Amino acid sequence: MMGWLQSLESSSWSIWLKESPSIWGYPTLLFFHTLGIAFSAGPSVAIDLRILGFASRLPLAPLDAFFRVIWIAFAVNAASGAVLFASDATAKLANPAFIVKMTCVLIAIVITVMIRRRVFGDSQSNAGTSRYLAVASIICWFGAITAGRFIAYF
Local confidence pLDDT in tens for the 154 residues of the chain: 778 888 888 888 888 888 888 898 899 999 999 999 999 999 999 999 999 999 999 999 999 999 999 999 999 999 999 999 998 999 999 999 999 999 999 999 999 999 999 998 866 566 678 999 999 999 999 999 999 999 999 8
What pLDDT is recorded for position 109?
97
The 3-state DSSP composition of the chain as helix, strand, coil percent (nearest 5) reads 80, 0, 20
What pLDDT is recorded for position 123?
60
Q: d(Cα 16, Cα 153) in Å, to the nearest integer? A: 23
In sequence order, which residues have a C-beta less than 8 Å from that of residue 39 and are 6 or more positions away? Answer: 69, 70, 72, 73, 76
What pLDDT is recorded for position 11?
86
What pLDDT is recorded for position 19?
87
Closest C-alpha among 111, 109, 143, 106 to residue 130: 111
pTM above 0.85, yes or no: yes
What pLDDT is recorded for position 78?
97
